[in-house]
Copies of this chain bind each other. A is one copy, B any other.
């Protein structure tokens, strides 16, 4: 981590399939405006239900990136 300063932001991604894909979807969207993303931490895992079935996984993450 040396001499860098990091900022972290909180994002929520969703997926019909898995927790992993929901996280990746959030990162893919965020990488359009944030460079140098280094790490993430899952802060909440939720979902919505339709007819007794998980319709979307909704996963919140903190993402850390280098402040240039």
Contacts and interface: CB of A to CB of B under 8 A. Distances in A.
Interface of A: 1-14, 17-20, 23-31, 33, 37-42, 44-49, 51-54, 56-58, 60, 62-64, 67
Nearest to A57: B20
Number of copies: 12
A25 B5 contact: yes
Given A47-B39, A54-B23, A7 B10 contact: yes
Nearest to A23: B54
A35 to B, nearest CB: 9
A49 B25 CA distance: 13
A60 B52 CA distance: 16
Contact of A13 (B5, B20, B38): B5
